[in-house]
Structure 1
Amino acid sequence: MNFRTPAVRLGLLPAGIALALAPSFASAQEAAAGTTDLDRISVTGSRIRGANMETQQPILTMTRESLEKQGFSSVADVLNNLTSAGSPAISRSDSLSSGENVGGYYVDLRNLGAQRTLVLMNGKRLGATTAGYQDLGQIPMSAIERIEVLKDGASSIYGSDAIAGVVNVITRKNFDGGEVNVYFGQYDQGDGENQQYSMTLGATGERGSMTLSAEYSKQDPVWAKDRWFSRDGGKGPNSTPAGDWSNVGQNSTWCDPRVWGDCKPRPQDQPQPEWYTLNAGGNPNNPADYHLLTPAEYANSNEQMSVLTGTERKSLYVNGTYDFTDTISLNADVLYNERNTDQQIAGYPYQSLSWGLPLSGESAFNPLPAAANRQSVEFRRRLWEVPRTTESQLKTLRFAPTVSGYFEFAGKTFDWDVGALWNRNESIKSNHGDMSLIAAEQALGPSFIGADGIARCGTADDPILGDCRPWNPLLPYGVDGQGSLANQELQDFLFPVYTTRGVTKTTSFTANLAGSIVTLPAGDLGFAVGVEHRKEEGSYVPDAFSQSGMSTGLGQKPTRGEYDLNEVYLELNVPILADMAFAKELTLNVASRYSDYSNFGGTTNSKFGLTWRPMDELLVRGTYAEGFRAPTIADLYGGLSSSFERYIDPCGITAPGSVAGSAACINGGAPANYTQLGQGGNVCGSLPCQSGDQFISGANPNLSPETSKSTTFGLVWSPRWVQGLDVSLDWYRYEISDMIIDDSVDRILRDCYVLGNTDRCSSVTRAADGHISAITYGTANLGKMETEGYDLGIKYRLPELAIGQFNIDWQTSYLSKYDEQNQNSAGDNIMMGLVGQDALFRVRSNLNVNWALGDFSVNYTARYYSGLNEDCISIGCTDPDRYAYGEAAPLRKTGANTFHDLQVSYKAPWDATIAVGANNVFDHKGPLMYSQQNSSFAYYGGFDIGRFLYMKYTQRF
């Protein structure tokens, strides 16, 4: 909204500029002389309303028109392409993510994590999962009027989670008429089809209005086998079967107990058991028809995995307003969203030694010669016939009414509002492809061939009745026969469907009062005061079988908990100087919020902001803010869960700063010449390496909140002598303490083996060959992080020419510091510099150029990412003198990348708009990143994965 004085335009950039450009920033601009209309506005980051008030912190505003100029179909895709945003750790490109957060669209400002960015809808919180993730995808694009992004801490105004900033999605209301939108796009490989259909209807009357928006969207998956960075495995230095492909393949292998006994891995200085696989066309019951497994026969699990998960959404949004009187109004929102997500990874790599379930000596399919004391056979087989799939459904129902008004007292105007919020998320997750260990014990146990030639479970004298079907795991994938895993009845017996149900509920009540107390020489002393009561409840409960741990899946116990809080805040806006030489405006803003939580107690967080306008065209602004993030329900009350972690074992001889052969390692069970082992018992080709055993993690009910301090300082310059030019430069700095993090495997191993903290060793268990077979850890307030950088924005609206109107928007973010606390080999706490590593780009820059002539317009965007470094152990290292993880470990450099987007649109005379475009129009391919940054594959999760072509049609009536 614009509000002006004769000499200076204050507030947000005009809608005319935002219509053609990407995200705008709060700026000072010169206005046409003689404009005197003033509106009372509310800006994200402040509760004080009033004309002539400009925010002290940098805000980006994206109007509906600017969103339509881009080729993205979701709010999160738009926000994640801001230069100040990173790719969240949980995203569509992270196929190995599990749990209730999968399928959601999240935003990560300043690379501080999605849980440290607060998301609002019309100024009120979005509902979150038990882990604190707020899904932006539940808001239909068709319902959005604008998005305001506050890039500064705001806990003094909004409470918990507003550490990195605030995203406020403001929806349409007072809409009159109708609008239909159709969007269709796909990658030029013919996959990843994205379709979206929406309708918005509205009517306004003398005392009220009603707006309704319905939307349906569907995004098809993209498979790993269809992309260059994932089709060949791409997880190790070679991207070949000799690299990180698994020796647990779809063609089963077995170990001969007559030669190797129990077939367990031996100490690494001794010969290891040999594993045999069936010859092509061979008889699985004949030991002579097998040969030693070779690396050329390893399995590429990526052939069954998706790069992007498929998602389907249905949304309905309704907004109603009603004026009870000229000074009292009702505004109410109702949102219903249903999200369905399909996810697939490769069939489980079953290793009988891990579960103690070999092929019985009494099985009809045992390849050893029949004898009264025939031995059981240990085997390995990836269950290729049954990929592991996850179907997730999330239903959201949200109701947010607010009664607001204003009154006058003693010549002053006061605004007030009383509101409530009810938000309920219900999730159902169904998993298929994890094998029941109870069923497997029967299927691999004794079996016999009956008189009718059919294999049955049990023995001829004591058959097992019911659904049991014997399994021959030595039959390779694609080979039919008795006991083949291709048999549907056998699949039904071995692979039940596991169901997890979750519910989160947010209930809040708020009351706010704002106005001015007195008139000072420089203007009105504004204030806002308010109270809030909020309750968070959540549960995430796996079914009884999943909780029992009697399957090959990742075991998990229930998460259940709740907490409530009461908050009160005060904000003051104090004008100090006005209309003086070198002080056209000098204003101080102060805010403080006290929060009292039922679980950890109270916390007070304050903020100070200063605005100085030495001359009409120059604005100087700065803030200092305290913030916090309360521990989530999952942090506090989460049940134990298991996972396959990536880590570096300091007792391995290839580890950076290796302590192999030390007393701590020897006493812990690691041989002096131990080399770290990963999946399938393979020697790790690169580090960190994924465990082949499940590790156990859990919650911590004694957690404290994270705390933060943030500082910003900036300039906004709108020179009179260059009409239409706005330049902004902002510096920021964040410090976060007591970060809530998982007490990582790497930290435990370093404490135990490097620093000599023997208490930490009790959670580590090693097998006979030295590899870590089990480890248990939980969440803790352990982390500390510091980051700082700069945002530069240049916007120029050229004078209108005969050849058309040109608009230029160039936004750049420079990350000068990003340090995380860790420990070096001496046990000292050190801050590790990570700029240029771990998906932390030093420079991100977006250049947008828009041209419009009559009913035609062309929009071009270039998205630039500077190069990254990644840790390397055995891959080609280009910077051997750099340090990583506090130790001498070389880094591998990758080059910079630029992706180009293009859209052409036409406004048809029948009140329609037609647009066609391409994201990544030149089909640029980013580099392989073996450290799998924000992805399950050797590719950064925020990069484009191909050229995406699309068309959009909008019909208004």
Structure 2
Amino acid sequence: MKRATKFKLNSLTSVISASLLFSAYTVNAEQEKQVERIEITGSHIKRTDLEGPSPVTSLSADDIAKTGVTDLIGLFAKLPISGQGTFSTQANSSDDTANGGSSVSLRGLGADSTLILVNGRRVSVSPFAKGIDTAFVDINNIPIAAIKRVDILKDGASATYGSDAIAGVINVILRDDIDGVEVSAKYGDTADGGGEETNVSVVFGNTTDNSSHTFILDYFNREEVLYADRNYSATANQRARTGDVYATDFRSSSGIPGTIALKSDPTNRMPDTFGNDVCAPEDIIGNLCGYDYAPYMTMFPQNERFSFNYSGRYDVNDTFRVFTELNGQNSKTMIRGAGSPSFNELFMEGDNINHPFANMPDHEFHGQDLTMRRRMVDIGNREKRVDADYYRAILGFEGEWGDWGYEVAYSYIKSQSVERGVDGFPNKVRLQEAIDSGAYDPFEPSSNGQQVLDYIETTTTRIGKSTNKTFDFKVNGPLAELPAGELMLAVGAEYREESISDNPDDQYLRGQIFGTEATQANGTRDNSSLFAEVAVPVIDDLEVQLAVRYEDYSDFGDTTNPKLSFSWRAIDNLLVRGSWGTAFRAPSLHQLGLGRTDESPTLVDKYRCDLVGLGCDPFEYTAVFEGNPDLGPEESESYNLGVVYNITDDLSVSVDYYSYDIEDIIDSDTQFIFTTQGGNPDIVERIPTGIANDPGEVVTIYDTFQNIGDLTTSGLDVDVKYNLPTEIGDFKFSYVMNYMLEYEDKRPDGNGGQRIDTEAGDFEQPELRFTLSADYAINDFTTSLALNFVDSFKQDDSVRVQTARDAQGNKIENQTVTLSDVDEFITVDATFNYHGIENTTLTLGITNLFNEEPPFTYDEFMGFATNVHSGQGRFMYLQANYKF
């Protein structure tokens, strides 16, 4: 891979070598006492000024506590900078491929474009990708009790940290300075049922002049929430629930006992209304037997986590220290879903003993081979259990040599998950055998005995593992004394080995499990990198910082990314800052090494619809994905320009303008492939119907990942803080806002040009988010109140423009209507603290104080945008914290 901004490796090596030789020459034997320098997120250069050239937001443990969240994803989901692609355990149903996982997407650029660090170092990705290909760091592995602060770097940082830092960096700093014991217990529950939470943590340690040890034990348990627990999501028939003629009946086309169709022509079908077991009249949808799966689906899965964290440091002498970090977690998650659906995978021969039309010689289906759409409710609803372990170990040493500091460390991180389908999963081969032999009658489920049900039901297993082994080295210090100050340098190197394996059992690989997704992916890579940073004090109040990083990957090539930034203190209380740089995201090992993976997307067969008027409505199809070893990286260019103005000691304002231009985005677009390649038998496999001009019923759609398009986005970040001390108490006010000026996701139009797939204000792309908060403290009481605002946005494009309908829901030909936007979502959080008992803090907290329901959307069965809005509702909790 080549680009105009790439530097040659030998040139970079020469610069680093010359810099080191020059620095050794300029180190003085006698050192003046220096103000302590620390390393801030976004740079390897240690500095005394916490306000650097890059925009960084820091949230302390107290800031996090005020939000009332019980895990990190709850915090990040509230941040105005978070966008589309942020996902929590919400909507982790039995069809999800990242069960129990959560991650954040800064600026809506994707969870895989947001780099997550712990204490400044990478962690391994989850072995189970989100949506079969999105590699992400599961932030559920980090308990709230272990966090000292969270730094959020809001510009591209590949020059500093390498791949994945396109949108920015989240650096979680763990507690390491405990001297004593802290015990905390928390209990909370929702107003509408489900979601009860218990959290207990113990933090203890000691600090001496030459050592520190911090231990953190944390236990967390959350009860499940089903969609049935919320009135707005308890049914998939949103049209009936809302009375809105434009709402959709999302009930499945696979019901119980199901729909009967001819094997030779699956479009010739009828609901099963024959015999003793029949499709309920209210479930008949046209010529299909439908099923309302919503009440059985998980909104939030049951989750239990136990975490252990240790951080230790020992000073061998004044200039040499050894440090270690040990983190571990076991997480158990349970996910539910409706019974497994089949879509024409099962067959019955015309002479089968259980043929429903055997005694009806005049029926057109008499003696015909049949297929069916049916849901395996008779063996139970689906249940998955995920047992995940996470380990992180770091051993290193650091010290000083004159004015120069150095650090060397080795880290090993492993994530391992075992997912088991323990209920409601049929083995297709055994099921078909039971149908063929007559032992199982799919059209009369009540006649089937437990013995045959036990025979066709199976237990599934999926085992995932990811590892990250890293050796890193860096040195930093003053290179020379310039008239305006010291010329600072940081250089370093890193070697990293990554592996991923996600392997379902042979039943999945042989296609014996239907109605649910599972991925298979295997891959390894190693990466070597060299990096350097220089901070140049141009004049007394102007600093320019240059950074460059060279990366060499074993599986796709090399890349070099520079970054140029500056900070200018125009006057004592006004700082102007800016940055420009390039960044990249390497293809994930899932995207490169994904094995055959079956998905069940809801799509529209526009190709067939245009030809013969069939397939025009959304329908569940089987799509087969495989990895693409020829993928290249995503490449981006970004810049940031901002000001920080401390108007008074109590009032400060920061405003930053940002812009990102990303090329060669890695993604898939199955609906686009389906539409533009609907007649290509290599892409879309069909069953001919014999009808003139009819391409036939779809069997399988084949898709993969591509460097498919480009994305540009820009916007404003605003942060205002105001302190107001009064005689009746101290007030603190804060306003944090993100306003999206531009967002354009450009994709091929199929004719050699481009189309805009998504832009600012489109579905799940609100232009404005902000949080307005106020704190008040007097004597032994403190309280906090926060208003969270998420702007309105358009409905999903697939439903936004519809054919007009009359009051009875009948379509009015040649007339269209544009559906109203998704409403804005405003919630209020509150906390009340009492400190009047020695060493004790008591807290009463409420999130979503007024129990606001998420605004209605037309695109999904649950009736709200799960990637933007929460269905938790009001959550109230009590917490006690005691220190001794």
TM over 0.5: yes
The answer for the alignment partner of 2:880 in structure 1 is 953
The answer for the alignment partner of 2:786 in structure 1 is 861
What is the correspondence of 1:68-107 to structure 2 with a 5 Å cutoff?
68-86=65-83, 88=85, 90-96=87-93, 101-107=98-104
* Counterpart amino acid of residue 671 in structure 2: D
Mapped contact 2:272–2:443 kept (Cα < 8 A)? no
How far off is 1:774 after superposition?
Answer: 1.4
Q: 2:469 aligns with which of 498, 507, 510?
A: 507
- Secondary structure of the equivalent of 2:426? coil
Q: 2:564 aligns with which of 608, 611, 630?
A: 608
Asked whether 1:550 is paired with 2:512, we answer yes
The answer for the alignment partner of 2:590 in structure 1 is 634
Distance 1:290 1:847 in 2: 51
- Secondary structure of the equivalent of 2:458? coil
Mapped contact 2:175–2:214 kept (Cα < 8 A)? yes
How far off is 1:142 after superposition?
Answer: 1.2
Distance 1:617 1:823, change over 3 A: same
Residues 860-886 of structure 1: per-residue CA shift (max 9 Å, x gap): 000011111014666786999xxxxxx
The answer for the alignment partner of 2:29 in structure 1 is none
Distance 1:711 1:379 in 2: 56
* Counterpart amino acid of residue 275 in structure 1: P
Residues 105-141 of structure 1: per-residue CA shift (max 9 Å, x gap): 2111110011111111111111113542101111121
Residues 922-941 of structure 1: per-residue CA shift (max 9 Å, x gap): 11122211224xx9654343
The answer for the alignment partner of 1:765 in structure 2 is 685
Residues 737-786 of structure 1: per-residue CA shift (max 9 Å, x gap): 111112x2223234436xxxx8x663112333534321111111112100
Mapped contact 2:462–2:504 kept (Cα < 8 A)? yes
How far off is 1:708 after superposition?
Answer: 0.8
What is the correspondence of 1:423-462 to structure 2 with a 5 Å cutoff?
423-431=413-421, 432-447=423-438
Task: Indicate the percent of aligned positions where both proteins have the same amino acid.
Answer: 27
Q: 2:841 aligns with which of 877, 892, 913?
A: 913
The answer for the alignment partner of 2:341 in structure 1 is 349
* Counterpart amino acid of residue 255 in structure 2: G
- Secondary structure of the equivalent of 1:67? helix
The answer for the alignment partner of 2:765 in structure 1 is 840
Q: 2:348 aligns with which of 342, 358, 381?
A: 358
Mapped contact 1:94–1:936 kept (Cα < 8 A)? no
Asked whether 1:336 is paired with 2:328, we answer yes
What is the correspondence of 1:282-297 to structure 2 with a 5 Å cutoff?
283=276, 294-295=284-285
- Secondary structure of the equivalent of 2:216? strand
The answer for the alignment partner of 2:442 in structure 1 is 473
Asked whether 1:150 is paired with 2:142, we answer no
Q: 2:708 aligns with which of 779, 782, 788?
A: 782
- Secondary structure of the equivalent of 2:671? helix
What is the correspondence of 1:915-954 to structure 2 with a 5 Å cutoff?
915-932=843-860, 938-945=864-871, 946-954=873-881
Mapped contact 2:186–2:198 kept (Cα < 8 A)? yes
How far off is 1:896 after superposition?
Answer: 1.8
- Secondary structure of the equivalent of 2:377? coil
Mapped contact 1:635–1:779 kept (Cα < 8 A)? yes
- Secondary structure of the equivalent of 1:381? strand
Max Rg structure: 1
Mapped contact 1:358–1:444 kept (Cα < 8 A)? yes
Distance 1:811 1:102, change over 3 A: same
What is the correspondence of 1:185-200 to structure 2 with a 5 Å cutoff?
185-200=188-203
Mapped contact 2:347–2:370 kept (Cα < 8 A)? no
Mapped contact 1:554–1:694 kept (Cα < 8 A)? no
Moved more, 638-647 or 521-530: 638-647
* Counterpart amino acid of residue 474 in structure 1: F
Mapped contact 2:575–2:645 kept (Cα < 8 A)? yes
Q: 1:114 aligns with which of 111, 115, 118?
A: 111
Distance 2:703 2:386 in 1: 27
Distance 1:384 1:750 in 2: 33
How far off is 1:559 after superposition?
Answer: 2.0
The answer for the alignment partner of 2:812 in structure 1 is none
- Secondary structure of the equivalent of 1:108? coil
Distance 1:825 1:336, change over 3 A: closer
Mapped contact 2:342–2:515 kept (Cα < 8 A)? no
What is the correspondence of 1:363-762 to structure 2 with a 5 Å cutoff?
363=353, 368-369=358-359, 378-385=371-378, 386-408=380-402, 413-431=403-421, 432-447=423-438, 470-475=439-444, 482-484=447-449, 487=450, 489-554=451-516, 558-578=520-540, 585-651=541-607, 653=609, 660-661=610-611, 671=612, 673-676=613-616, 684=617, 689-691=618-620, 693-719=621-647, 722-742=648-668, 744-752=669-677, 762=682
Residues 156-200 of structure 1: per-residue CA shift (max 9 Å, x gap): 111111111111111111310001111111111231111111101
Distance 1:840 1:213 in 2: 38
Q: How many residues align?
A: 818
How far off is 1:806 after superposition?
Answer: 0.2
Distance 1:263 1:96, change over 3 A: farther
Moved more, 847-856 or 101-110: 101-110
How far off is 1:637 after superposition?
Answer: 1.2
Distance 1:623 1:555, change over 3 A: closer
Distance 1:695 1:547, change over 3 A: same
Distance 1:907 1:238 in 2: 47
Mapped contact 1:361–1:446 kept (Cα < 8 A)? no
Distance 1:400 1:907, change over 3 A: same
The answer for the alignment partner of 1:245 in structure 2 is 251
How far off is 1:521 after superposition?
Answer: 0.6
How far off is 1:890 after superposition?
Answer: 4.4
Distance 2:282 2:185 in 1: 57
Distance 2:563 2:156 in 1: 9
Distance 2:281 2:35 in 1: 85
RMSD over equivalenced CA pairs, Å:
2.8
Mapped contact 1:339–1:393 kept (Cα < 8 A)? yes
Distance 1:237 1:813, change over 3 A: farther
Mapped contact 2:271–2:284 kept (Cα < 8 A)? no
Distance 2:500 2:799 in 1: 45
Can you give the 5+ residue segments of structure 1 that lack an aligned partner in the other structure? 1-35, 256-260, 267-271, 448-469, 579-584, 654-659, 662-670, 677-683, 881-887
TM-score by length of structure 1 reads: 0.81
How far off is 1:245 after superposition?
Answer: 2.0
Distance 1:890 1:767, change over 3 A: farther
- Secondary structure of the equivalent of 2:606? coil
Distance 1:329 1:187, change over 3 A: same
Distance 1:210 1:70, change over 3 A: same
Residues 259-295 of structure 1: per-residue CA shift (max 9 Å, x gap): xx657344xxxxx4333325xxx745xx9x9999734
The answer for the alignment partner of 2:811 in structure 1 is none
* Counterpart amino acid of residue 640 in structure 2: T
- Secondary structure of the equivalent of 1:85? coil
The answer for the alignment partner of 1:581 in structure 2 is none
Mapped contact 2:87–2:104 kept (Cα < 8 A)? no
Mapped contact 2:94–2:335 kept (Cα < 8 A)? no
Mapped contact 2:302–2:335 kept (Cα < 8 A)? yes
* Counterpart amino acid of residue 383 in structure 1: M
Mapped contact 2:237–2:292 kept (Cα < 8 A)? no
How far off is 1:834 after superposition?
Answer: 1.5
Q: 1:807 aligns with which of 713, 718, 732?
A: 732
The answer for the alignment partner of 2:15 in structure 1 is none
TM-score by length of structure 2 reads: 0.87
